[in-house]
Chains A and B, each alone.
Chain A
Amino acid sequence: MSDELKLVDAAKGGSVEAFTELVRGYREGLFRFLLTRCSNHADAEDALQDTLINAYRYIGSYNPQWRFSTWLYRIAIRNAGRLRSDNFAELGDPAADGGDPLAHCLAESERDNLWRSAKRILSDEVFAAMWLRYVEDMSVRDIASVLERSSSWTKVNLLRGRRALELELNGTAGNAGSEAYG
């Protein structure tokens, strides 16, 4: 049995320490991902906290046939989506605040970060698929599971996202932003 599965079993038994140890390696990546999904830094922090609490609360339902990160990201996407819809209901369009957390988390020299372009030209789901593929190294099957989409949809949209970003990278984006990706 791997160390991760041992920690999962211990966490299922109610050990907070084991759970904390289990998620230690995922927290930063998860937070980075949530920063790209949420409308501001505080929301990303709340989403991270909610994700970890929900993961601990429902760890009994975790099936080890899936990677732990797949399960964790699925919870994170749901939490980020819920936070965003709550904010939208209460405050109107949160993007109108100019509260893009990515802008605050990048140094001045990093303003041409490709993920900012990705956020601008790709739909939320395609952006998430690209992130999970190229940053988290997830398989198409895992990405499809996280996004609750088919493998075919995932493959097609990864390809579309890639093409759009390649155009952006080569400085010939043209009308790429106007296309309906995803």
Chain B
Amino acid sequence: MDKLANRLREDASHIDAEISAQLDSRIRASLAAVGPPAARRRKSKRRPAWFWLASSLTGIVAALALIAVLNVIDVDEPAAVPRTVDGNTVPPIGVIDLDVRAAMLTDPLARELADLQADLKKAEELVRGDVRIDF
């Protein structure tokens, strides 16, 4: 070993690093108070590599199954109507005609359109009268 390394080693040994009895007992008491390390260790939450693949596949299969189930169920089937309530006979309720209802909803728009066309026609006649130009 070279001169410098020897000197460094020797000089380090001259540094007084005696651990006092007081410090020793303090350390022992602290260690005893910490409790067993194994009990404090948390379980690893790391999952295996195949976990993500398996969960992805499960998700895809579940989605496909849901789509298939929704397509198989016959949603056009009308709900069954009880024929009697508390012993009294009641007439069956007919299915609502959705087409009629839809036509009724467009009525106001059709009326508005007719009004606008009438306004346009009146405005056209007024302009003809003013400028006396025959279109």
Contact = CB atoms under 8 A, between A and B. Distances in A.
Interface of A: 11-14, 16, 19-20, 27-29, 31-32, 35-36, 45, 48-49, 52-53, 56-60, 102, 105-107, 110, 113-115, 118, 130-131, 134-135, 162, 165-166, 169
Contacts of B23: 45, 48-49
Interface residues of B, number: 29
B44 to A, nearest CB: 10
Contacts of B96: none
A53 to B, nearest CB: 5
A114 B11 CA distance: 6
Q: Give the secondary structure class of A's interface.
A: helix
Query: Among the interface residues A28, A56, A58, A118, which one has the most CB atoms of the partner chain B within 10 A?
Result: A56
B7 to A, nearest CB: 6
Contacts, number: 94
Nearest to B40: A57
Interface of B: 3-5, 7-9, 11-12, 14-19, 23, 26-28, 30-32, 34-41
Contacts of A134: 4-5, 8-9, 12
A105 B11 CA distance: 12
